[in-house]
Each structure stands twice: as structure tokens, then as C-alpha cells.
Amino acid sequence: MLDIKFVRENKEKVVENIKKKYQDEKIPLVDEVIELDEKVRSLKLEGDELRKNRNSISSEIGSLMRDKKVDEANAKKKEVTDINEKLVLIEKEEEELNNSLHEKMLIIPNIIDDSVPIGKDDSENVEIEKFGDPVVPNYEIPYNADILESFSGLDKDSAGRTSGAGFYYLMGDAARLVTAMINYGRDYMIDKGFTYCIPPFMIRSDVVTGVMSFKEMDEMMYKIEGEDLFLIGTSEHSMIGKFKGQILKKETLPITMTSYSPCFRKEVGSHGIEERGIYRVHQFEKQEMIVICEPEDSMDWYNKMWRYTVEIFRNLNIPVHTLECCSGDLADLKVKSVDVEAWSPRQKKYFEVGSCSTLGDAQARRLGIRVKGENGNYFPHTLNNTVLASTRALIALLENNYQEDGTIKIPEVLQPYMGGKQVIYPNK
């Protein structure tokens, strides 16, 4: 959420930013919030003047009563009553206008970084850099569901009976591989100095609206019926929400955390849910990382964070490349974002396995997270990045470590988490 003062003083920049995000339907909101803000400030001034007059009159009443000028004192008391009644109406109107202003401000997108390429959607994202050689072997790489089923690692039929489409059972070595990857990602981040966290898997609505846009919430989040709780779609929301309403000490920054959680997503939209594979599902596990830092340090952390993900995937023998997300592909709270995509030798193209974003002070402003500074309190910057998302990381690992005889080579960094096992063999 932008600062209303910034909107007042930079109307043209805010409008231009909306245009860059191809959200022209939101342009009228800028004039609307400026007009609402003017009314709110006017009411506040009127209320302050009335309170000042009330205090002055109240002092007069005391003097009049001491002088036994009862009739004059009673007249002044009537004036105070009239002021109080008027203040009630003003405060009520001010509250209503403030609520409307806040709701509209939540919809106006954050200002994107000047380095973000301008484009309408993800088809216009820009490749930055490749890491590792994207190899296509001279033998066929089966579909991920077929690879998993070759060593009895996937059961979607049973999950369909228990839970419906978009769910799955991972069995045996497949389940063990996922746990190995998550644990490796956890230990990698701990070695980088991040504090390990297992957060709540449900959060309240005020945290949800503090960390994401309404559109994202509608498309992603599962609501718990009858309660003010949502299942998390990613643990960054719980981790950032941990600091809601807090005033942080400057010396505690940066706060760096990595978390494990299951993730639940409705996956509403054009992509739909896969019937056979595990690429797009309703439930998966993830290791995540977040940083809360000084505003001037956020871009340095942004570049560190996505490189951590690249290094993890390269250690799993998976070639990756990075894509700079264009303006139209950025969620409304994001200032800048890069996707890490893994090579699929089966499809002969890359697919998304992680995303790193800096959100400026948008989440901190929405959640009331401040830092106590020498010259007053200010909002820190927040960042998040995927360490490993279980299902997509598993697909990338299987395809890039699949051998001609149907075996799966286990990357060296995972072997300690697999009891020393080096190869997974298909069923005979």
C-alpha cells in the first residue's frame, strides 16, 4: 500500500505506474483517494477546531460557576453539548471516509522499480542468465507421473477417492526424496545464517490482506468456514505476519528466516488442475525464506536470495535460468521479481520452480511493522523467495537425473538424507 502523502504529491507517477501494469481501470482510483483524503483532512481540522473551542468554553464554565453566574454557565454548557453532538457526527463521517480511503488505497498497485521491463503478461518476461547446460539426452524422458509410478511412488487414484482432483499420495522413495530435498534446503539456508521456523499453517484475514492483493487471495486461499482463518498458500505470509503491529529495534535488522510448511492453493484460473501429474496441485510442501531489512539494503538482499535458489538447484544437478518479471506480470504489492525456472529435458523448455520478490515497504505499511529510528519510526522493506517447492522440485530432479535404464541418480547432496542411497531403481 502506498503512502497517501506520496499519492498526493506524485499523482502523475502513480497514474503512469498503473498504466505500466496495464491496469487502466484503476486510474480513476487515484483522483478518488486524493478527494477522499482531502475530505478526511478537512474533517480532522474541523474536529480539532471544535475540540479546541470546547476546551476553551469548558474553562469559561468553571470561572462562571465560581462567580455564581449560573445562567451564563448553563448557556456555555449548552454550547459544549452542541459541540459534542457535532463532533460525534464528524467523527463518524471521518471514520467512514477513512475506511473507504483505506479500501481504495489497498487496490492501487505498488510503484515498480525503474529496472522492471514493461510488458503485458508473463509472455513478455525477460531471460537474465542461464546456469548449467540444458541437456536433452538421446533417450526418452517419461512424463513425471510415469516416472513416479515406475517405482510405485505416486497414487492419485486413492487421493481422488479421499480428497478429489489435485491431490496425491507420494509413496516410498518418492516421499523420501521430497523430505530429503526439503531438509537439504532447510540446512542450506541455516548455513547461510537464516533462522529456521515452523510457522502457523492458518492465518487471519487481516494478515492475508496485509501480505497480498485481493485478487491473489481470491485465486489462492482456502477459507475455513465459520472462522476468520485461511489455510496458507505459502509460509512467507505467516512469517511476515509474525511481526504484525510490532515496532522493531533497528539493531535487530536484518531479520532472516527460513520456514517449512505445507501449502494449500485453490489454483483458480486458466491453468486448471493436472489429472495425472504433480505440476499443478492443491497441496504441496515448501521451504521458504523471508528477509525484513533496512530500505537501502533490500536490493542487495534481493540479489542474494534468488542466487541461493539457483545454487540449490545446481547442487541437485538441475540446470536453471532466471527470468525478470515484466510490469504486467508483477502482483500489485511487488516492486521487482525474478522467477527461477528449471530445465525440463522431456519438454525441452524451462518451467517455474521458484520466485523471488522485493515488496518495498508495502507489506510493512499494511501490517503496521515499523522500525524505531533515531529520527522517528519508519517502515522496513520485506522480501521473500522460494527455497524449494516439493512437487515442482521433484519433477525437475526426476527428469534431470533420469537414466536410460529407468533408474534415478540421487544427487550427492541428498544422499545423506536418503540413508546413503545413490540410485532409485524401477520395479522389475
Least confident of 67-76, 105-114, 252-261, 404-413: 67-76
**122-424 is classed CATH 1.20.190.20:** no
- The mean pLDDT of 391-419, rounded to a whole number, is 97
Banded model confidence at residue 59, pLDDT cuts 50, 70, 90: confident
Is residue 269 over pLDDT 60?
A: no
Task: Please list, in sequence order, all residues whose beta carbon lies within 8 angstroms of the beta carbon of residue 344, skipping any fewer than 6 positions away.
Answer: 350, 351, 395, 396, 399
The reported pLDDT for the residue numbered 271 is 54
**Torsional sign, CA 211, 214, 220, 222:** positive
Give the residue carrying C-alpha cell 489435485. Answer: 166
CA-CA distance, 122 to 115, in Å (whole number)? 16
pLDDT digits (tens, 9 = 90+) for 90-120: 999 999 999 999 999 999 999 999 999 999 9
Banded model confidence at residue 273, pLDDT cuts 50, 70, 90: low
Mean pLDDT of the chain: 94
CA distances in angstroms from 33 to 4, 258, 340, 347, 367, listed in the order given: 8, 37, 37, 48, 20
Least confident of 193-202, 210-219, 297-306: 210-219
Banded model confidence at residue 270, pLDDT cuts 50, 70, 90: very low
Determine the residue type at 58: S
Task: Please list, in sequence order, all residues whose beta carbon lies within 8 angstroms of the beta carbon of residue 324, skipping any fewer than 6 positions away.
Answer: 116, 117, 125, 126, 127, 128, 337, 338
The reported pLDDT for the residue numbered 216 is 78
The reported pLDDT for the residue numbered 268 is 58
Least confident of 13-27, 80-94, 382-396: 80-94
Task: Please list, in sequence order, all residues whose beta carbon lies within 8 angstroms of the beta carbon of residue 11, skipping any fewer than 6 positions away.
Answer: 30, 34
CATH number of 4-107: 1.10.287.40
- The mean pLDDT of 307-330, rounded to a whole number, is 97
- Which residue would you say has higher pLDDT here, 68 or 126? 126
The reported pLDDT for the residue numbered 301 is 98
Least confident of 56-60, 80-84, 89-93, 158-162: 56-60
Strand order in the sheet with 202-203: 202-203, 230-231, 222-223
Banded model confidence at residue 391, pLDDT cuts 50, 70, 90: very high
Domain boundaries defined on the chain: 4-107, 122-424
Question: Which residues pair with residue 409 across a beta bridge?
Answer: 423
pTM, rounded to two decimals: 0.90
- The mean pLDDT of 387-400, rounded to a whole number, is 97
CA-CA distance, 388 to 150, in Å (whole number)? 24
Is residue 416 over pLDDT 80?
A: yes
Residue 309 near residue 334, CB atoms below 8 Å:
no
The reported pLDDT for the residue numbered 220 is 85
Is residue 276 over pLDDT 90?
A: no
The reported pLDDT for the residue numbered 274 is 61
| Backbone phi, psi, residue 57, to 5° | -65, -40
Least confident of 26-30, 70-74, 142-146, 202-206: 70-74
- The mean pLDDT of 336-360, rounded to a whole number, is 97
- The mean pLDDT of 156-167, rounded to a whole number, is 93
- The mean pLDDT of 145-168, rounded to a whole number, is 94
Banded model confidence at residue 272, pLDDT cuts 50, 70, 90: low
Banded model confidence at residue 217, pLDDT cuts 50, 70, 90: confident
**Torsional sign, CA 356, 386, 121, 342:** positive
Residue 259 near residue 287, CB atoms below 8 Å:
yes
CA-CA distance, 206 to 195, in Å (whole number)? 25
The reported pLDDT for the residue numbered 79 is 87
Banded model confidence at residue 415, pLDDT cuts 50, 70, 90: very high
Least confident of 10-19, 139-148, 177-186, 276-285: 276-285
DSSP 96-148: HHHHHHHHHHHHSPPPPPTTSPP-SSGGG-EEEEEES-----SSPPPPHHHHH
